[in-house]
Amino acid sequence: MKDLLGEALYNYEINQPQVEFIRHNENETYKIKDMLLNKQYVIRIHKSSEDFSLDIFKEDKHSIDYLTGEINILNCIRRNTKIGAQMPIKNKYGEFVTILKDGTPVTLLSWINGNTIDNIKLNNHILFKLGAMIGEFHQFSKAWSESKKISRYSYDKMLLKRMKCKLIGGLRLKAISNEQFEIIDDTINEISNTLDRLDLQKKSKGIVHSDLAKSNIIVSDNEEIIPIDFGLSGNSYYYMDLGSLFSHFNKPNQQSLILKGYKSIINEDVEIKYIEAFMVFQIILFISTHIENAYKIQWFNSAINRWSKEFFIPFLNNIRFIKNI
């Protein structure tokens, strides 16, 4: 991968690059500093790690069309909202996506100074602003007519079917038990019913981030809340992002403040039962994308039992598990 990084950097106007590895999941990601101009960037080599499979989406994750779609989302957010999203950077040849000799795509984005939200002390103001930021993003998405023309992932009933197939494979591998499979399978069926109900609502879906883990939310030096890593963004129901947030901010007071911030921008009813449905969707998507490597994850089986008890079974029985907000 070091050879790929060197080739990738050669395609950009970066002087005396200082390299810092960040992470490797669906992309290999580095922080790059131009030591001459004192500018900082994020470079992404779009080659998944062996432990991170996205074949469940059935699209070419790293195709130029899909990466161009992500670039278009970032550029449109920057043009049409106050959200300080990362700026895509063109290579020496005026292109946003660089293709290396072996066919690996590369993209370069601006660096945002600040800390991920898991590395700061949370307060009411930041949580409210987090909800408001997602509200602003969804407000933009609802009005963005071009979104239907871009190539991105779909978080829909077809994906639910693929998730089932992954779970059946996991059952054969003995990564999950028959009982665990039956609970998750029933839960997927109920999520599918929920999507049918949401389809009856106007403007219930559009472009979403879908991966709002704490590591993907930056609190900038001037306390702006900025989402990063739109690599898994795509078409889904707006509740997908609320479900993602509530999965990672699980205290009732945190959820209440996020929801207040969101509703300060989105003047619509927000139903807790739908947030719960997409929390469960997110958890099962995680299980599905990791089940083939479950033998490497010591806590995988016990986590499924906990998720079943705390989320799946209550969801199936129409018992609220998001409380006191």
pLDDT given for residue 123 in this prediction: 96
> Which residue would you say has higher pLDDT here, 284 or 52?
284
* pLDDT, averaged across the chain: 94
For residue 237, count CB atoms less than 10 angstroms from its CB and return exposed for 0-12, middle for 13-18, buried for 19 or more.
Answer: buried
Q: For residue 1, name the pLDDT band (cuts at 50, 70, 90).
A: low
pLDDT given for residue 62 in this prediction: 54
Confidence check: pLDDT of 72 > 80: yes
pTM: 0.94
pLDDT given for residue 59 in this prediction: 60
Confidence check: pLDDT of 186 > 80: yes
For residue 142, count CB atoms less than 10 angstroms from its CB and return exposed for 0-12, middle for 13-18, buried for 19 or more.
Answer: middle
The answer to whether the CB of 85 falls within 8 A of the CB of 101 is: no
Residues forming beta bridges with residue 17, ordered by sequence position? 34
pLDDT given for residue 57 in this prediction: 81
Confidence check: pLDDT of 232 > 60: yes
CA gap 155, 157 in Å, rounded: 7
Could you give the domains of the chain?
A: 3-111 (3.30.200.20), 124-317 (3.90.1200.10)
Q: What percent of the chain has pLDDT over 70?
A: 97
> Which residue would you say has higher pLDDT here, 179 or 147?
179
Confidence check: pLDDT of 147 > 80: no
Average pLDDT over residues 187-210: 97
3 CA to centre of own chain: 28
pLDDT, tens only, 285-322 = 999 999 988 888 889 999 999 999 999 999 999 999 99
CA gap 192, 230 in Å, rounded: 25
What Rg value do the Cα atoms of the chain yield, rounded?
20
238 phi/psi in degrees, rounded to 5: -60, -25
Q: How far is CA 290 from CA 124, 167, 176, 285, in A?
A: 34, 10, 12, 9
pLDDT, tens only, 105-125 = 999 999 999 999 999 999 999
Confidence check: pLDDT of 234 > 60: yes
Confidence check: pLDDT of 61 > 60: no
Single-letter residue type at 310: E
Q: How far is CA 287 from CA 36, 158, 211, 303, 314, in A?
A: 45, 17, 14, 10, 18
CA gap 21, 175 in Å, rounded: 32
Q: For residue 185, name the pLDDT band (cuts at 50, 70, 90).
A: very high
Confidence check: pLDDT of 94 > 90: yes
pLDDT, tens only, 160-173 = 999 999 999 999 99
